[in-house]
Chains A and B, each alone.
Chain A
Amino acid sequence: MQVTSSVRQPLVTGGKTYHDVTHDVSRQVEGKPSLAWFLAFLTAVGTLAIGFIAVAATVWEGIGMWGLNKTVGWAWDITNFVWWVGIGHAGTLISAVLLLFRQKWRTSINRAAEAMTIFAVICAAMFPVLHMGRPWLGAYWALPLPNTFGSLWVNFNSPLLWDVFAISTYFSVSLVFWYIGLIPDFATIRDRATGLRKTIYGALSFGWDGAAKTWMRYESVSLILAGLATPLVLSVHTIVSFDFATSVIPGWHTTIFPPYFVAGAIFSGFAMVLTLMIITRKVFKLEDYITMGHIELMNIVIIITGSIVGIAYITEFFIAWYSGVEAEQYAFINRATGPYWWAYWSMMTCNVISPQLFWFKKIRTSIVATFALSIVVNIGMWFERFVIIVTSLHRDFLPSSWAMFYPSWADVGVYLFTFGLFFTLFFLFAKFFPVINMAEVKSVLKSSSEKAAK
């Protein structure tokens, strides 16, 4: 076990004991839902229902319901897809990479971050299916299934197919990792529960007995899964970026995309974790577990990744100029000064300038500022994907085909649908699952709690 210096800030404040941890987390699960939770949940379900109208219209009438055209074949659909996948990065990063690096501060936030990852990936996965002209076929034709068509097989050259593998692998590993982490906590709740609740949580806890051997296996599995998940953090967004990088379209055909996309994904993922955690800690009164120290550390990650993204933007411009390729140069000048200049400058402001404010300690330790900036960052990251996808496509090689893209109500509706879905799932999770990993927090309590440290 690592030795923690006594001068370090405690990770859990308020002098929590083991019992306090169990009680503070479990009471959310056991108690009656609060009015605030109900209202929030109903809002989420309402958004989901409204968004569903747009989804139904798209599936029933066709992709023509969206604002796409002969020149711009992807816009909000793939923008939203990449955005959600990006958000889904923080969970695995926090739980896997930080686990390997033995960053103990992750323990209070990893559960919620992983849940967020899974829900974000579910939202993301809606788009590759919904954006198909014939989703009822595409949903399974895109898989390499044995079939009766003879030698007909998927096209392994296509980055879209790589996406299918990357996203599904990421989703399965994240889900398993998350669930295994949940098992000891489900057992805790089971042990405190009675009646039907006991049966349900009992089933969910897969017969956890808390024996030393079980704990040992649990630790090993966590480490193995962390090892497996770590490359995925890099691979998923790398592969998503291949959708663009391997194409011929100026503004897409760029080797810088993989690292730039990964950095951007972590950037937006952390911002989303912050947005959610700031609300959760407030609503569930978990300030002692998710402390200012956590928020500050995450803000530092945001400064770093935001700066990487900023450098990537500048590098793209430099390379476009340096390449001497006319179409490439035009694509970038068009981004900054063309009809979509406002999208480009929104992206630059939100992603490159605003995170730099976190250099000021006052700002990075302010809950209000952090909350506001975490939302700004995600707006910026949405624009980043919009800029890459739409402004590259709308004016490519042949000027005769240049066109504008205008979103329709259905574009907005489908995006709302995923918001509704995300928050519905998240609120269900927050109510019925332990939002903080009790077992792991307890493991750091001894070394990091104020009381325990004394």
Chain B
Amino acid sequence: MKENKKTYWKGLEQLNNDPEFVKHADREFPELPSALGEDGSASRRDFLKLMGFSLAAASLAACEAPVRKAIPYVNKPVDVNPSIPNYYASTFTSGGDYASVVVKTREGRPIKIDGNDLSPINKGKVNAIVEASVLSLYDKQRLTGPMAAGQKTDWKTLDAEVKSKLAAAGNVKIVANTILSPSTLESLNLLSEAVGGAEVIMYDPISNYGITKASETYYGAAVLPSYSFDKANTIVSFGADFLGTWISPIEFAGQYAKTRKISKEKPVMSRHYQFESNLSLAGANADYRTPIKASQSGLAVLALYNAIAKKAGAATVSAPAVEIAHLEMAANDLWASKGASLVVSGSNDPNVQVVIHAINELLGNNGVTVDFATPANFRKGDDSKMNQFVSDLKGGRVGGVVFYNCNPVYDFARGAEIAEGIAAAKVSVATNGTLDETASLVQYVAPDHNFLESWNDFEPKLGHFSLSQPTISPLFDTRQAQDSFLTWAGAGVNYYDFLRQNWEAGMFTQTETGGNFQEFWDQALYNGVYKLEKSAEALAPVGDVAAAAAAVGKTYAAASPAAELVIYTKVGIGSGTFANIPWLQEMPDPITKATWDNYLTVSQKWASDNGVTMFEENTQKAQITVNGKSLIVPILIQPGQADGTFGLALGYGRTKAGRVADGVGVNAYDLLDASAGFVNFDITSGVEVAVTGDSYKIARTQTHQTFMGRENVIQEATLAEYKQDASAGRYKPEIYKDGEFIKPSKISLWSGHKYSQHHWGLAIDMNSCIGCSACSVACQVENNVAVVGKQEVLNRREMAWIRIDRYYSSDAPADDLEGMEVASTNPEVTFQPMMCQHCNNAPCETVCPVAATTHSTEGLNQMTYNRCIGTRYCANNCPYKVRRFNWFKYHDNKDFAGVNVAQNSDLGKMVLNPDVTVRARGVMEKCSLCVQRIQAGKLAAKREKRKVQDGDVNVACAVACPTDALVFGDMNDPNSKVSQMLKIEDNSTSALKEVNEERAYHVLEEINVSPNVWYFTKIRNKEKNEA
């Protein structure tokens, strides 16, 4: 603000220095009689008067209404308008995972994270963890200030002590997860210099070290390539869950979906083979999935190599023979789509990855689907360095250690050794935001800001930059970690300036557009991303595949009889960093539909051999022993699990994550083995599993696994059938009336609605839905959906408005109803997102006695919470069972405070969306098609005096969907994407739209409730219908 030099007078008296005025100038209210006499003394009467007045005033004041917390701004901050959201581009990173995001803030509070459309990497999409991470800002567990030796301290003291101790420590190590930020690395360099050389050691909880190591061996450069699934016609994955958790799943899911979208005009799609032990998300979406033992996977890769090499005329490698179904077919398909195919492996074994590199090389995929010219920086953790560090730390050879926002005590294979070793270092510092397993063991904790309070930059891939900016001023007395580093380095600059300087000297000088830096910076900050045209040199093989193949041949076996444990990562919980976010704990796992637990996935055969059965949520516990370490875990029978293998998820068994996550599940990191120089997630020997006989309940949101052959629910076909007939797989019920068969929609008791303005609809492509559940978390955040906790999920009372029904195929014939309840050994999997279908003939609307659920003039089935009396008749009468009842008061209730954190404390409540009511106990709720967003879109259009255009309004689930499987829009608008997708013939005002897209269908068409949600048949790229 400019200095204000103007002077104002109270009146002419002041200007003229009127003597009367001057006399009383020191008094605030000169016209009132003074309490003091002319001489400054007070009379007894005056004293009593004043006393009386004060007493009365004080008692009156005490009678006033309590102080309300809503305080109007005295000076309104720029850009903060009540009820108008602001959006800031920012970036999410964690353990090498990356997403460029847009943060929605309301009244200065970040409340929702969406993908940044401008990002060339995640292209406006997010996954469940990114979506939920906004709650990490409002975590009660966060440190509120610096700590020294377990006691609160102040920054000055901490800085002084840390600075001197680090300088004196000698051999300082800085441990971190993958650092994508060039400026952070720069600040660490300064710190390193200041303390006489500190090594930065990066590791990742979910390590992909094998690939970079293999690149080093085979190509001579330790880089992780960028993958392009969108350019691949044939995709072969050996245990890589590239849709769920592998390296950059948001990016890959988007690319993959492009190859899975088909239409009559373009009836082509990629063919996806998956060879794996656990049923992963990618495996669930594969056209051909072969369960293999982890011990076979290396040989399977070699066999594929040899098959391709034969076709390519290259030298084969010697490899033990192994029998793997569909492998030959995969080789043929790969060869047929040479140069447009992709082979990936989830193995962390560098030797296996060398062979994978070699296969892609033989197929000519290098430079097409495997891009070394744009190396990715995701997960560049180095397991061998980390191993060395742990040994050094344990051996007392580390003088000082700084943990930069990482938690290796919990999430590294040798965490227990780190926990022991920390005390041996002269000084130990952590910048972690919470007192987690690692931070609780160090001497100094200098808590970092949450990422939503921070400035930072990132380079996820070569030449791809992005920025993060604070979206709220720091809630607590925390300090950005980089500021701490700069302070301890004595750099005398704050990180924001440092960052700008870096960009000014770096990116800005390399840009060709010129201009001034401020403009460049503002634009980059506004966009959140910035791309420099630069690429690394293409790589050509320099290494030898034979050596790696020989090593693989030795490590793996064609038919090992031993039990094997494949440790995997869940889509929702990931590495466990965000385990304290209840939205993620209660997000049903896309495959098992289990919440609030990890468990041992076992094959159906093993279960029947060991007498383990599951009815509903009831199961038993097992003891798993891996090389002497034992864990007691519940058993979950998993169709598709390779026989002889077991699966166990990471990310659980936290002890110091906070109230939500502590004690949930078991910590599988304890079982990991890093002795081979890399963290091995496939444990193929020394595994024993024994049923303990104790019973246990796993809270699953879906306990019936098959769709019972119901064609009115799931409609699917193979690609070959689809090419013949675009309506292949469609179930078209017909009703006989007056001598002819007609569609159920042609006869109705209903007079029907007319939608003169908009007619909102949702089209769901079951072919591109991969089941990742980003939509369900997005919905939870957007609509203030309560979290109810494990017991209530066990009681089948989760509140999710959108769920993803996951169905397995069954081998039983259609008339064997009991047989159809059992899933196939290696089932086909179908995902069906299910939410309120917004029926035009809604069965819920007719039965509500008080008209609390009614039809809008735009086709929505709307729920009026404050009219609802909670008879639950609507929910009973809903054929889709999408209505959710508030069985208890979930907000402001100490019984739910431990799980429903977003509705139970002042801090947690900051995340609530003010546009959506928090529902009271005893009322029904359900998907509203984000009516608040529709309303906001309509109002924005009205303000601008124009019609609502397609894209102005989008529902939270569709925004989050990384594969664009959900398309929302106005079916009255012929130009809307949804109209075009459905090929709506006549965009009139009628409620019943004639849809010409052959794949589109209504679930339960025959009961003619006429939903506004359409599903597209699932098409599998298979030769014939077989699992």
Contacts of B555 in A (CB 8 A): none
Please tell me if the beta carbons of B796 and A403 are within 8 angstroms of each other in the complex.
Answer: yes
Asked if A35 CB lies within 8 Å of chain B CBs, one says: no
Contacts of B873 in A (CB 8 A): 73-74, 158, 160, 243
Nearest A-chain residue to B1008, judged by Cβ: A248
Q: Give B881 Cβ to nearest chain A Cβ, in Å.
A: 4
Contacts of A246 in B (CB 8 A): 846-847
Instruction: Give the number of A-B contacts (CB < 8 Å).
Output: 177
* Total number of A residues with any Cβ neighbor in B under 8 Å: 54
Most buried by A among B805, B873, B886, B1007: B873
The 8 Å CB contact of A64, one of B797, B867, B883, is: B797
Contacts of A180 in B (CB 8 A): none
Asked if A439 CB lies within 8 Å of chain B CBs, one says: no
The 8 Å CB contact of A134, one of B712, B843, B869, B1007, is: B869
**Bound: A74/B703 CA distance, A:** 20
Please tell me if the beta carbons of B888 and A399 are within 8 angstroms of each other in the complex.
Answer: no
Please tell me if the beta carbons of A70 and B846 are within 8 angstroms of each other in the complex.
Answer: no
Most buried by A among B713, B792, B871: B871
Asked if B848 CB lies within 8 Å of chain A CBs, one says: yes
Nearest A-chain residue to B709, judged by Cβ: A326
Please tell me if the beta carbons of B703 and A402 are within 8 angstroms of each other in the complex.
Answer: yes
Asked if B426 CB lies within 8 Å of chain A CBs, one says: no
Are A70 and B881 also in contact (CB < 8 A) when A247-B843, A247-B847, A248-B1009 are?
Answer: yes
Contacts of A154 in B (CB 8 A): 849-851
Asked if B817 CB lies within 8 Å of chain A CBs, one says: yes
Give A58-71 as 1s and 0s: 1 = Cβ < 8 Å from B's Cβ atoms: 00011110011111
Please tell me if the beta carbons of A399 and B922 are within 8 angstroms of each other in the complex.
Answer: no
Asked if A330 CB lies within 8 Å of chain B CBs, one says: yes
Asked if B616 CB lies within 8 Å of chain A CBs, one says: yes
Asked if A148 CB lies within 8 Å of chain B CBs, one says: no
Please tell me if the beta carbons of B1007 and A399 are within 8 angstroms of each other in the complex.
Answer: no
Asked if A393 CB lies within 8 Å of chain B CBs, one says: yes
Asked if B795 CB lies within 8 Å of chain A CBs, one says: yes
Asked if B894 CB lies within 8 Å of chain A CBs, one says: no
**Bound: A248/B1009 CA distance, A:** 9
Please tell me if the beta carbons of A142 and B850 are within 8 angstroms of each other in the complex.
Answer: yes
Are A61 and B888 also in contact (CB < 8 A) when A133-B923, A155-B848 are?
Answer: yes
Please tell me if the beta carbons of A160 and B870 are within 8 angstroms of each other in the complex.
Answer: no
Give A406-418 as 1s and 0s: 1 = Cβ < 8 Å from B's Cβ atoms: 0000000000000
**Bound: A137/B817 CA distance, A:** 44
**Bound: A403/B806 CA distance, A:** 15
**Bound: A164/B880 CA distance, A:** 27
Please tell me if the beta carbons of A248 and B850 are within 8 angstroms of each other in the complex.
Answer: no
Please tell me if the beta carbons of A400 and B888 are within 8 angstroms of each other in the complex.
Answer: no
Are A153 and B885 also in contact (CB < 8 A) when A160-B871, A397-B880 are?
Answer: no
Please tell me if the beta carbons of B869 and A153 are within 8 angstroms of each other in the complex.
Answer: no
Contacts of A135 in B (CB 8 A): 869
Are A62 and B851 also in contact (CB < 8 A) when A398-B805, A399-B713 are?
Answer: no
Please tell me if the beta carbons of B805 and A400 are within 8 angstroms of each other in the complex.
Answer: yes
Asked if B967 CB lies within 8 Å of chain A CBs, one says: no
Q: Give A195 Cβ to nearest chain B Cβ, in Å.
A: 48
Please tell me if the beta carbons of B795 and A74 are within 8 angstroms of each other in the complex.
Answer: no
Asked if B954 CB lies within 8 Å of chain A CBs, one says: no
The 8 Å CB contact of A398, one of B703, B713, B798, B883, is: B713
Asked if B877 CB lies within 8 Å of chain A CBs, one says: yes
Asked if B876 CB lies within 8 Å of chain A CBs, one says: yes
**Bound: A398/B1007 CA distance, A:** 13
Contacts of A359 in B (CB 8 A): none
Q: Which of A360-411 contact B (CB under 8 A)?
A: 393, 395-404
Please tell me if the beta carbons of A63 and B704 are within 8 angstroms of each other in the complex.
Answer: no
The 8 Å CB contact of B708, one of A63, A248, A330, is: A330
Q: Which of A40-77 contact B (CB under 8 A)?
A: 61-64, 67-71, 73-74
Asked if B884 CB lies within 8 Å of chain A CBs, one says: yes
Give B865-909 as 1s and 0s: 1 = Cβ < 8 Å from A's Cβ atoms: 001111111011101110111111100000000000000000000
**Bound: A313/B227 CA distance, A:** 62
Please tell me if the beta carbons of A69 and B797 are within 8 angstroms of each other in the complex.
Answer: yes
Are A73 and B885 also in contact (CB < 8 A) when A248-B843, A403-B703 are?
Answer: yes
The main secondary structure of chain B at its interface with chain A is loop
Please tell me if the beta carbons of B869 and A398 are within 8 angstroms of each other in the complex.
Answer: no
Q: Give A65 Cβ to nearest chain B Cβ, in Å.
A: 8
Please tell me if the beta carbons of B869 and A63 are within 8 angstroms of each other in the complex.
Answer: no
Asked if A159 CB lies within 8 Å of chain B CBs, one says: yes
Please tell me if the beta carbons of B843 and A63 are within 8 angstroms of each other in the complex.
Answer: no
Contacts of B1004 in A (CB 8 A): 397-398
Please tell me if the beta carbons of A132 and B871 are within 8 angstroms of each other in the complex.
Answer: yes
Contacts of B871 in A (CB 8 A): 128, 131-133, 138, 160
Asked if B259 CB lies within 8 Å of chain A CBs, one says: no
Are A73 and B876 also in contact (CB < 8 A) when A138-B850, A247-B847 are?
Answer: yes
Give A315-357 as 1s and 0s: 1 = Cβ < 8 Å from B's Cβ atoms: 0000000000111001001100100000000000000000000
The 8 Å CB contact of B706, one of A74, A158, A325, A399, is: A399
**Bound: A63/B884 CA distance, A:** 13
Asked if A2 CB lies within 8 Å of chain B CBs, one says: no
Q: Which of A79-108 contact B (CB under 8 A)?
A: none
Asked if A157 CB lies within 8 Å of chain B CBs, one says: yes
**Bound: A165/B851 CA distance, A:** 17
Asked if B743 CB lies within 8 Å of chain A CBs, one says: no
Please tell me if the beta carbons of A403 and B616 are within 8 angstroms of each other in the complex.
Answer: yes
Please tell me if the beta carbons of A132 and B922 are within 8 angstroms of each other in the complex.
Answer: yes
Contacts of A69 in B (CB 8 A): 795-797
Q: Give B404 Cβ to nearest chain A Cβ, in Å.
A: 44
Asked if B451 CB lies within 8 Å of chain A CBs, one says: no
**Bound: A326/B1009 CA distance, A:** 17
Please tell me if the beta carbons of A132 and B869 are within 8 angstroms of each other in the complex.
Answer: yes
Are A152 and B834 also in contact (CB < 8 A) when A70-B796, A133-B921, A157-B846 are?
Answer: no
Asked if A161 CB lies within 8 Å of chain B CBs, one says: yes
Q: Give B732 Cβ to nearest chain A Cβ, in Å.
A: 14
Q: Give A131 Cβ to nearest chain B Cβ, in Å.
A: 7
Please tell me if the beta carbons of B870 and A138 are within 8 angstroms of each other in the complex.
Answer: yes
Please tell me if the beta carbons of A138 and B869 are within 8 angstroms of each other in the complex.
Answer: yes
Asked if A249 CB lies within 8 Å of chain B CBs, one says: yes
**Bound: A326/B731 CA distance, A:** 13
Asked if B807 CB lies within 8 Å of chain A CBs, one says: yes
Asked if A141 CB lies within 8 Å of chain B CBs, one says: yes
Contacts of B889 in A (CB 8 A): 62
**Bound: A62/B924 CA distance, A:** 13
Please tell me if the beta carbons of A248 and B879 are within 8 angstroms of each other in the complex.
Answer: yes
Q: Which of B959-1018 contact A (CB under 8 A)?
A: 1003-1004, 1006-1007, 1009
**Bound: A299/B514 CA distance, A:** 101
Q: Give B739 Cβ to nearest chain A Cβ, in Å.
A: 19
Please tell me if the beta carbons of B704 and A402 are within 8 angstroms of each other in the complex.
Answer: yes
Q: Give A378 Cβ to nearest chain B Cβ, in Å.
A: 25
Please tell me if the beta carbons of A71 and B851 are within 8 angstroms of each other in the complex.
Answer: no
Q: Give A56 Cβ to nearest chain B Cβ, in Å.
A: 15
9 A-B pairs with least C-beta separation: A133-B870, A133-B922, A138-B869, A64-B887, A69-B796, A73-B872, A400-B805, A401-B881, A155-B851
List 7 additional contacts besides A61-B888, A134-B923; criterion CB under 8 Å.
Answer: A74-B873, A132-B922, A133-B871, A248-B1009, A398-B834, A398-B880, A403-B616
Interface on B for A, CB 8 Å cutoff?
616, 702-704, 706-708, 710, 712-713, 792, 795-798, 803, 805-807, 817-818, 832, 834, 843, 846-851, 867-873, 875-877, 879-881, 883-889, 920-924, 1003-1004, 1006-1007, 1009
Q: List 30 A-B contacts (CB under 8 A).
A: A62-B889, A62-B921, A63-B870, A64-B888, A74-B872, A133-B869, A133-B870, A133-B872, A133-B886, A133-B923, A133-B924, A134-B922, A153-B851, A154-B850, A155-B848, A155-B851, A157-B846, A160-B848, A248-B1009, A249-B876, A396-B879, A397-B713, A397-B879, A397-B881, A397-B1007, A398-B881, A399-B706, A400-B832, A401-B704, A401-B880
Interface on A for B, CB 8 Å cutoff?
61-64, 67-71, 73-74, 128, 131-135, 137-138, 141-142, 152-155, 157-161, 164, 243, 246-249, 325-327, 330, 333-334, 337, 393, 395-404
